[in-house]
Amino acid sequence: MDRAAHWLNYHHLYYFRTIALEGGIAKAAKKLRLGEPTLSTQLKQLEEMIGKPLFERRNRMMVLTEAGRSALDYANEIFRLGDEMIEVLQDRSVDNKIHIQIGALDSVPKRIIQSLVVEAYKLAPSCTVSILEGKGDELFRELYAYKIDLILSNYPPPALEQRQVFSKSVAKLPVSIFGAAKFKSQIKSFPQSLNGKPFVLPTAHSKLRHDLNHYFKLKNIYINPVAETQDSSLQKLLAAQGIGLAPFSEVGANRKEVDLLKFGRLEGVYEEVWLVSAQRKLENPLAAKLMNSFSLN
């Protein structure tokens, strides 16, 4: 067979992908505004070029074959890279204005997010910055799908994803205990005075939570967890209401926002923040510079 016959027709691949995602030729034809016979012909030509059927019919439904599932995986990657290329090149094409999208976990101190944004404007004064705050699993999915460029996280990326991403520690902040005035007497004989006291804690997935548990165990201090939240702003509000004591870094506490007293520092306990990026075919140059230069350590 002539080599040209093996060249991939991307229109055929696009039609196949649409059929697979829409669940059939009729729905795909409606979305693409093509006739069903035309779409069937395009699919048949792709199958003939590949040499294997991509669908099989079961109870009037089109189901992907094993070859079809593999082809769909490749098609998704091909068109994802195409979307990424257009997004990146368009962001560079208008007056060289770079757009960077930053994700930040709810638990990351706002001052660190602010510092990262300020650093971005120093490196690229005409850039635009979008900030998306949310939960870790959601933000990491967005990062792996190349929908955001960087993440500020209070824990490193999951071990299974290490091959796809780069991360570095950008802040290591000493942690202290804060609380409402009703707990003022606990300042004496700190930290033993914390024994049995109610606490508003970060959630169990947090590295800080594990470090706190380890610290209290070593000190033979048994605290009473009455609430836990990933949102540091909510944690501060609950602590200010007297629900319980709470651990924060000096940066994270920001006592001007709420009425909190500092009771004492936990020696050897730190809140660490990581900056994370994903490997991309077309790298955002500002994200690359921030990965190299940004650090509060």
Q: Which pLDDT does position 5 carry in this prediction?
A: 47
Tens of pLDDT, residues 18-63: 999 888 899 998 988 889 899 999 999 999 888 899 998 887 788 8
Residue 8 backbone phi and psi in degrees, to 5 = -80, 130
> Which of 72-81, 157-166, 231-240 shows the highest mean pLDDT?
231-240
- Return the structure tokens found at 19: 């059929």
Contact 213, 88 (CB under 8 A): no
Percent above pLDDT 90 for the chain: 42
DSSP E strand stretches across the chain: 55-58, 61-64, 99-105, 128-134, 150-153, 165-179, 198-201, 224-228, 246-249, 261-278
Q: What is the DSSP letter of 54?
A: S
The burial of 251, by beta-carbon neighbours within 10 Å (0-12 exposed, 13-18 middle, 19 or more buried), is given as: middle
How does the average pLDDT of the chain come out, rounded? 85
- Range 169-186 average pLDDT: 90
- All structural domains of the chain, each given as residue ranges with its CATH number in brackets, are 3-81 (1.10.10.10), 92-170+274-293 (3.40.190.10), 172-271 (3.40.190.10)
N residues, the chain: 297
Contact 90, 35 (CB under 8 A): no
Tell whether the model's pLDDT for residue 295 goes beyond 50.
yes
- Range 145-161 average pLDDT: 79
Q: Which pLDDT does position 214 carry in this prediction?
A: 95
Q: Which pLDDT does position 94 carry in this prediction?
A: 44
Q: Which pLDDT does position 252 carry in this prediction?
A: 59
Beta bridge partners of 138: none
The residue with greater pLDDT, 121 or 79, is 121
3-state SS class at 293: helix
Number of Cα atoms under 13 Å in the Cβ half of residue 27: 11
Contact 170, 197 (CB under 8 A): no
What is the distance between the alpha carbons of residues 188 and 176, in angstroms, rounded to a whole number?
15
pTM: 0.64
Q: Which pLDDT does position 280 carry in this prediction?
A: 77
Percent above pLDDT 70 for the chain: 90
Q: Which pLDDT does position 138 carry in this prediction?
A: 85
Q: Which pLDDT does position 4 carry in this prediction?
A: 43
Q: Which pLDDT does position 257 carry in this prediction?
A: 53
